[in-house]
Structure 1
Amino acid sequence: MTTITLVRGDITRESADAIVNAANSSLLGGGGVDGAIHRRGGPAILEECRELRAGHLGKGLATGLAVATTAGVLEARWVIHTVGPVHSTTEDRSELLASCYRESLRVADELGARTVAFPAISTGVYRWPMGDAARIAVTAVREADTEVEEVRFVLFDDRAHAAFAAQLG
Protein backbone atom coordinates (compact mmCIF):
# COMPACT_ATOMS: atom_id res chain seq x y z
CA MET A 1 0.00 0.00 0.00
CA THR A 2 1.22 3.46 -0.87
CA THR A 3 1.83 5.91 1.95
CA ILE A 4 0.76 9.49 1.22
CA THR A 5 2.57 12.30 3.00
CA LEU A 6 2.32 16.08 2.79
CA VAL A 7 5.23 18.50 2.85
CA ARG A 8 5.06 22.28 2.88
CA GLY A 9 8.02 23.37 0.78
CA ASP A 10 9.87 23.61 -2.50
CA ILE A 11 9.69 20.50 -4.69
CA THR A 12 13.09 21.28 -6.22
CA ARG A 13 14.64 20.67 -2.78
CA GLU A 14 13.01 17.27 -2.23
CA SER A 15 15.01 14.07 -2.08
CA ALA A 16 13.01 11.33 -3.84
CA ASP A 17 13.49 8.71 -6.51
CA ALA A 18 11.34 10.81 -8.85
CA ILE A 19 10.06 14.37 -8.80
CA VAL A 20 7.01 15.15 -10.91
CA ASN A 21 7.11 18.25 -13.06
CA ALA A 22 3.89 20.09 -13.91
CA ALA A 23 5.17 20.68 -17.44
CA ASN A 24 3.73 22.33 -20.49
CA SER A 25 3.31 20.28 -23.67
CA SER A 26 6.52 21.63 -25.23
CA LEU A 27 8.64 20.06 -22.43
CA LEU A 28 11.06 22.93 -22.94
CA GLY A 29 10.57 24.72 -19.63
CA GLY A 30 8.18 27.42 -18.57
CA GLY A 31 7.02 29.19 -15.46
CA GLY A 32 6.05 27.99 -12.00
CA VAL A 33 7.11 24.47 -10.97
CA ASP A 34 8.26 23.72 -14.52
CA GLY A 35 10.67 26.64 -14.67
CA ALA A 36 11.93 26.00 -11.14
CA ILE A 37 12.72 22.34 -11.89
CA HIS A 38 14.54 23.22 -15.10
CA ARG A 39 16.53 26.02 -13.42
CA ARG A 40 17.57 24.05 -10.35
CA GLY A 41 18.04 20.72 -12.14
CA GLY A 42 20.41 22.18 -14.71
CA PRO A 43 20.79 21.83 -18.49
CA ALA A 44 20.71 18.00 -18.61
CA ILE A 45 16.92 18.01 -18.12
CA LEU A 46 16.32 20.40 -21.02
CA GLU A 47 18.76 18.43 -23.18
CA GLU A 48 16.80 15.20 -22.66
CA CYS A 49 13.51 17.01 -23.24
CA ARG A 50 14.86 18.32 -26.55
CA GLU A 51 15.86 14.74 -27.50
CA LEU A 52 12.32 13.55 -26.75
CA ARG A 53 10.90 16.35 -28.90
CA ALA A 54 13.31 15.44 -31.72
CA GLY A 55 12.10 11.85 -31.49
CA HIS A 56 8.70 10.34 -30.76
CA LEU A 57 7.33 13.45 -29.02
CA GLY A 58 7.80 15.77 -31.98
CA LYS A 59 4.43 17.42 -31.39
CA GLY A 60 4.94 17.62 -27.63
CA LEU A 61 3.49 15.70 -24.71
CA ALA A 62 -0.29 15.40 -24.63
CA THR A 63 -2.31 16.51 -21.62
CA GLY A 64 -2.69 13.74 -19.05
CA LEU A 65 0.36 11.75 -20.19
CA ALA A 66 3.79 11.47 -18.58
CA VAL A 67 7.41 10.89 -19.60
CA ALA A 68 10.66 10.68 -17.64
CA THR A 69 14.07 12.31 -17.98
CA THR A 70 17.14 12.62 -15.84
CA ALA A 71 16.82 14.84 -12.78
CA GLY A 72 20.10 16.60 -13.52
CA VAL A 73 21.55 17.89 -10.25
CA LEU A 74 18.29 17.62 -8.28
CA GLU A 75 18.20 15.23 -5.32
CA ALA A 76 16.29 12.67 -7.38
CA ARG A 77 17.11 10.10 -10.03
CA TRP A 78 14.37 11.15 -12.45
CA VAL A 79 11.97 13.93 -13.31
CA ILE A 80 8.60 12.70 -14.52
CA HIS A 81 7.03 15.37 -16.71
CA THR A 82 3.24 15.48 -16.97
CA VAL A 83 0.99 18.03 -18.64
CA GLY A 84 -2.02 19.03 -16.58
CA PRO A 85 -5.21 20.41 -18.08
CA VAL A 86 -6.20 24.06 -17.99
CA HIS A 87 -9.26 24.41 -15.74
CA SER A 88 -12.52 25.09 -17.54
CA THR A 89 -15.88 26.17 -16.17
CA THR A 90 -17.66 24.80 -19.27
CA GLU A 91 -15.95 21.40 -19.72
CA ASP A 92 -15.18 18.75 -17.11
CA ARG A 93 -11.47 17.96 -17.46
CA SER A 94 -11.18 16.13 -14.13
CA GLU A 95 -10.29 12.83 -15.81
CA LEU A 96 -7.33 14.46 -17.55
CA LEU A 97 -6.06 15.78 -14.21
CA ALA A 98 -6.46 12.36 -12.57
CA SER A 99 -4.63 10.84 -15.53
CA CYS A 100 -1.59 13.02 -14.78
CA TYR A 101 -1.22 11.29 -11.41
CA ARG A 102 -1.96 7.77 -12.70
CA GLU A 103 0.38 8.12 -15.69
CA SER A 104 3.16 9.57 -13.53
CA LEU A 105 2.86 6.60 -11.19
CA ARG A 106 2.85 4.20 -14.16
CA VAL A 107 6.10 5.76 -15.41
CA ALA A 108 7.52 5.62 -11.86
CA ASP A 109 6.74 1.90 -11.76
CA GLU A 110 8.48 1.36 -15.10
CA LEU A 111 11.55 3.13 -13.69
CA GLY A 112 11.48 1.25 -10.39
CA ALA A 113 10.92 4.44 -8.37
CA ARG A 114 9.68 3.86 -4.82
CA THR A 115 9.33 7.48 -3.67
CA VAL A 116 7.62 10.09 -5.83
CA ALA A 117 7.15 13.79 -5.04
CA PHE A 118 4.22 15.57 -6.72
CA PRO A 119 3.32 19.25 -6.90
CA ALA A 120 -0.33 20.35 -6.99
CA ILE A 121 -0.70 19.90 -10.76
CA SER A 122 -2.71 22.51 -12.71
CA THR A 123 -3.28 24.79 -9.71
CA GLY A 124 -0.96 27.59 -10.83
CA VAL A 125 -1.35 29.31 -14.19
CA TYR A 126 -3.83 26.59 -15.27
CA ARG A 127 -6.18 27.92 -12.54
CA TRP A 128 -7.56 24.64 -11.18
CA PRO A 129 -9.31 25.36 -7.84
CA MET A 130 -7.07 24.02 -5.07
CA GLY A 131 -9.71 22.09 -3.14
CA ASP A 132 -10.94 20.26 -6.22
CA ALA A 133 -7.39 19.60 -7.44
CA ALA A 134 -6.51 18.12 -4.04
CA ARG A 135 -9.58 15.85 -4.13
CA ILE A 136 -8.72 14.58 -7.62
CA ALA A 137 -5.03 14.09 -6.79
CA VAL A 138 -5.57 12.21 -3.53
CA THR A 139 -8.29 10.01 -5.03
CA ALA A 140 -6.17 9.18 -8.10
CA VAL A 141 -3.17 8.23 -5.96
CA ARG A 142 -5.26 6.17 -3.52
CA GLU A 143 -6.89 4.25 -6.37
CA ALA A 144 -3.72 3.72 -8.41
CA ASP A 145 -2.34 0.23 -8.85
CA THR A 146 1.31 1.05 -8.17
CA GLU A 147 4.46 -0.32 -6.57
CA VAL A 148 5.42 3.19 -5.40
CA GLU A 149 5.81 3.04 -1.63
CA GLU A 150 5.54 6.74 -0.82
CA VAL A 151 3.79 9.55 -2.64
CA ARG A 152 4.75 12.92 -1.24
CA PHE A 153 2.67 15.95 -2.14
CA VAL A 154 5.04 18.91 -1.90
CA LEU A 155 2.92 22.00 -1.49
CA PHE A 156 4.27 25.49 -1.86
CA ASP A 157 2.01 27.36 0.55
CA ASP A 158 -0.25 26.91 3.58
CA ARG A 159 -3.45 27.14 1.51
CA ALA A 160 -2.41 24.22 -0.70
CA HIS A 161 -1.20 22.21 2.29
CA ALA A 162 -4.54 22.75 4.07
CA ALA A 163 -6.53 21.69 1.00
CA PHE A 164 -4.57 18.45 0.64
CA ALA A 165 -4.67 17.78 4.40
CA ALA A 166 -8.48 18.10 4.30
CA GLN A 167 -8.60 15.39 1.61
CA LEU A 168 -6.44 13.02 3.63
CA GLY A 169 -8.79 13.37 6.58
Structure 2
Amino acid sequence: MESRQEKQVRSLKRLIIAGTTLNDIMQTTAALKNIDAHGPHGPVYYMAFSGIAVAYCRIFDETNYGLGSIGKKYEKFPDDSEHANTHADLLEGRRTAFAHYSPAQAANLLRNAKDIQDHQKVEMIVNLGGDVGFRAKIILWKTKNLRKIYDLCAFQDERIRSDAKKLVEHLGGDKVYAPGTYTIGESFP
Protein backbone atom coordinates (compact mmCIF):
# COMPACT_ATOMS: atom_id res chain seq x y z
CA MET A 1 0.00 0.00 0.00
CA GLU A 2 1.24 3.46 -0.89
CA SER A 3 2.12 5.73 2.04
CA ARG A 4 0.77 9.26 2.37
CA GLN A 5 4.18 10.68 1.46
CA GLU A 6 4.41 8.46 -1.64
CA LYS A 7 1.00 9.73 -2.77
CA GLN A 8 2.11 13.32 -2.27
CA VAL A 9 5.33 12.69 -4.20
CA ARG A 10 3.27 11.20 -7.04
CA SER A 11 1.01 14.27 -6.96
CA LEU A 12 4.04 16.54 -7.14
CA LYS A 13 5.39 14.61 -10.15
CA ARG A 14 2.00 14.96 -11.89
CA LEU A 15 1.99 18.71 -11.31
CA ILE A 16 5.57 19.13 -12.53
CA ILE A 17 4.90 17.14 -15.72
CA ALA A 18 1.68 19.10 -16.29
CA GLY A 19 3.49 22.42 -15.84
CA THR A 20 6.22 21.36 -18.26
CA THR A 21 3.61 20.30 -20.82
CA LEU A 22 1.72 23.59 -20.47
CA ASN A 23 4.93 25.56 -20.98
CA ASP A 24 5.72 23.50 -24.10
CA ILE A 25 2.25 24.29 -25.44
CA MET A 26 2.69 28.01 -24.74
CA GLN A 27 5.98 27.98 -26.67
CA THR A 28 4.34 26.13 -29.55
CA THR A 29 1.43 28.58 -29.77
CA ALA A 30 3.91 31.46 -29.84
CA ALA A 31 5.80 29.81 -32.73
CA LEU A 32 2.58 29.11 -34.65
CA LYS A 33 1.71 32.81 -34.77
CA ASN A 34 4.20 33.12 -37.61
CA ILE A 35 2.68 30.39 -39.77
CA ASP A 36 -0.04 31.09 -42.33
CA ALA A 37 -2.60 28.36 -41.72
CA HIS A 38 -3.71 28.47 -45.35
CA GLY A 39 -0.23 28.93 -46.87
CA PRO A 40 2.42 26.38 -47.79
CA HIS A 41 3.00 25.53 -44.13
CA GLY A 42 -0.70 24.92 -43.43
CA PRO A 43 -0.16 21.20 -42.77
CA VAL A 44 2.40 22.12 -40.08
CA TYR A 45 -0.18 24.40 -38.49
CA TYR A 46 -2.84 21.68 -38.55
CA MET A 47 -0.54 18.98 -37.19
CA ALA A 48 0.76 21.29 -34.46
CA PHE A 49 -2.79 22.04 -33.33
CA SER A 50 -3.51 18.31 -33.16
CA GLY A 51 -0.37 17.86 -31.06
CA ILE A 52 -1.40 20.72 -28.78
CA ALA A 53 -4.82 19.17 -28.17
CA VAL A 54 -3.36 15.74 -27.45
CA ALA A 55 -0.59 17.10 -25.17
CA TYR A 56 -2.98 19.36 -23.25
CA CYS A 57 -5.49 16.58 -22.65
CA ARG A 58 -2.86 14.03 -21.61
CA ILE A 59 -2.42 15.77 -18.26
CA PHE A 60 -6.10 15.11 -17.51
CA ASP A 61 -5.85 11.44 -18.47
CA GLU A 62 -5.46 8.66 -15.94
CA THR A 63 -2.58 7.21 -17.99
CA ASN A 64 -0.44 10.36 -17.67
CA TYR A 65 3.00 8.72 -17.41
CA GLY A 66 1.37 6.14 -15.17
CA LEU A 67 0.85 8.91 -12.59
CA GLY A 68 -2.82 9.66 -13.20
CA SER A 69 -4.79 12.83 -13.85
CA ILE A 70 -3.86 16.17 -12.27
CA GLY A 71 -7.40 16.35 -10.92
CA LYS A 72 -10.85 17.79 -11.44
CA LYS A 73 -9.86 21.12 -9.89
CA TYR A 74 -8.09 22.02 -13.13
CA GLU A 75 -11.22 21.37 -15.18
CA LYS A 76 -13.12 24.18 -13.44
CA PHE A 77 -12.74 27.82 -14.44
CA PRO A 78 -13.99 31.26 -13.41
CA ASP A 79 -17.42 31.95 -14.92
CA ASP A 80 -16.34 35.05 -16.79
CA SER A 81 -13.41 33.47 -18.62
CA GLU A 82 -12.98 31.91 -22.07
CA HIS A 83 -10.93 29.18 -20.44
CA ALA A 84 -13.84 26.72 -20.12
CA ASN A 85 -14.67 27.00 -23.84
CA THR A 86 -11.04 26.67 -24.88
CA HIS A 87 -10.59 23.68 -22.55
CA ALA A 88 -13.70 22.02 -24.06
CA ASP A 89 -12.46 22.74 -27.61
CA LEU A 90 -9.10 21.14 -26.83
CA LEU A 91 -10.84 18.06 -25.41
CA GLU A 92 -12.98 17.83 -28.55
CA GLY A 93 -9.89 18.36 -30.70
CA ARG A 94 -8.19 15.47 -28.99
CA ARG A 95 -11.22 13.23 -29.51
CA THR A 96 -11.15 14.22 -33.17
CA ALA A 97 -7.43 13.45 -33.50
CA PHE A 98 -7.87 10.07 -31.83
CA ALA A 99 -10.88 9.30 -34.02
CA HIS A 100 -8.47 9.10 -36.96
CA TYR A 101 -9.88 12.36 -38.21
CA SER A 102 -13.54 11.54 -38.33
CA PRO A 103 -15.17 14.34 -40.36
CA ALA A 104 -18.36 14.04 -38.31
CA GLN A 105 -16.46 14.47 -35.03
CA ALA A 106 -14.25 17.22 -36.43
CA ALA A 107 -17.33 19.19 -37.44
CA ASN A 108 -18.17 19.50 -33.74
CA LEU A 109 -15.36 22.05 -33.50
CA LEU A 110 -17.17 24.35 -35.93
CA ARG A 111 -19.56 26.98 -34.71
CA ASN A 112 -21.91 27.62 -37.65
CA ALA A 113 -23.87 25.63 -40.23
CA LYS A 114 -22.04 27.05 -43.28
CA ASP A 115 -18.66 26.00 -41.91
CA ILE A 116 -20.02 22.53 -41.18
CA GLN A 117 -21.37 22.23 -44.76
CA ASP A 118 -18.11 23.51 -46.28
CA HIS A 119 -16.16 21.02 -44.19
CA GLN A 120 -17.99 18.11 -45.83
CA LYS A 121 -16.91 19.11 -49.35
CA VAL A 122 -14.08 17.29 -51.08
CA GLU A 123 -12.58 19.02 -54.11
CA MET A 124 -11.03 17.60 -57.25
CA ILE A 125 -8.52 19.86 -59.00
CA VAL A 126 -7.64 19.31 -62.67
CA ASN A 127 -4.72 21.34 -64.01
CA LEU A 128 -4.06 22.35 -67.62
CA GLY A 129 -1.96 19.24 -68.21
CA GLY A 130 -4.84 16.97 -67.17
CA ASP A 131 -3.29 15.96 -63.87
CA VAL A 132 -5.81 15.41 -61.13
CA GLY A 133 -5.38 16.30 -57.49
CA PHE A 134 -7.68 16.28 -54.53
CA ARG A 135 -8.25 18.42 -51.48
CA ALA A 136 -10.31 17.55 -48.45
CA LYS A 137 -11.22 20.35 -46.10
CA ILE A 138 -9.72 19.94 -42.69
CA ILE A 139 -10.77 21.61 -39.49
CA LEU A 140 -8.41 24.35 -38.48
CA TRP A 141 -8.75 26.31 -35.32
CA LYS A 142 -8.71 30.00 -36.03
CA THR A 143 -5.39 31.73 -35.42
CA LYS A 144 -7.10 33.90 -32.79
CA ASN A 145 -7.48 30.72 -30.73
CA LEU A 146 -3.71 30.57 -30.33
CA ARG A 147 -3.96 33.40 -27.82
CA LYS A 148 -6.86 31.70 -26.03
CA ILE A 149 -4.89 28.46 -25.76
CA TYR A 150 -1.83 30.34 -24.52
CA ASP A 151 -3.93 32.17 -21.93
CA LEU A 152 -5.59 28.94 -20.77
CA CYS A 153 -2.21 27.24 -20.37
CA ALA A 154 -0.80 30.24 -18.49
CA PHE A 155 -3.83 30.18 -16.16
CA GLN A 156 -3.49 26.44 -15.57
CA ASP A 157 0.28 26.74 -15.10
CA GLU A 158 -0.14 29.44 -12.46
CA ARG A 159 -2.52 27.21 -10.49
CA ILE A 160 -0.23 24.20 -10.89
CA ARG A 161 2.86 26.14 -9.78
CA SER A 162 1.05 27.35 -6.68
CA ASP A 163 -0.09 23.84 -5.76
CA ALA A 164 3.32 22.33 -6.53
CA LYS A 165 5.04 24.95 -4.35
CA LYS A 166 2.73 24.11 -1.44
CA LEU A 167 3.47 20.40 -1.86
CA VAL A 168 7.24 21.05 -1.99
CA GLU A 169 7.04 23.13 1.20
CA HIS A 170 4.95 20.46 2.92
CA LEU A 171 7.13 17.54 1.81
CA GLY A 172 10.39 19.38 2.54
CA GLY A 173 9.28 20.31 6.02
CA ASP A 174 11.91 22.26 7.91
CA LYS A 175 14.78 20.82 5.89
CA VAL A 176 16.88 23.38 4.03
CA TYR A 177 18.00 22.29 0.58
CA ALA A 178 21.24 23.67 -0.84
CA PRO A 179 21.16 24.99 -4.40
CA GLY A 180 21.27 22.05 -6.80
CA THR A 181 19.20 19.48 -8.62
CA TYR A 182 17.07 16.97 -6.77
CA THR A 183 15.20 13.98 -8.14
CA ILE A 184 11.61 13.87 -6.92
CA GLY A 185 11.03 10.65 -5.00
CA GLU A 186 14.77 9.94 -4.61
CA SER A 187 16.84 12.85 -3.31
CA PHE A 188 13.69 14.86 -2.48
CA PRO A 189 12.13 14.74 0.05
Per the TM superposition, whether the score is higher than 0.5 is: no
Q: Higher helix proportion, which one?
A: 2
- TM-score between the two structures when normalised by the length of structure 2: 0.23
- TM-score between the two structures when normalised by the length of structure 1: 0.25
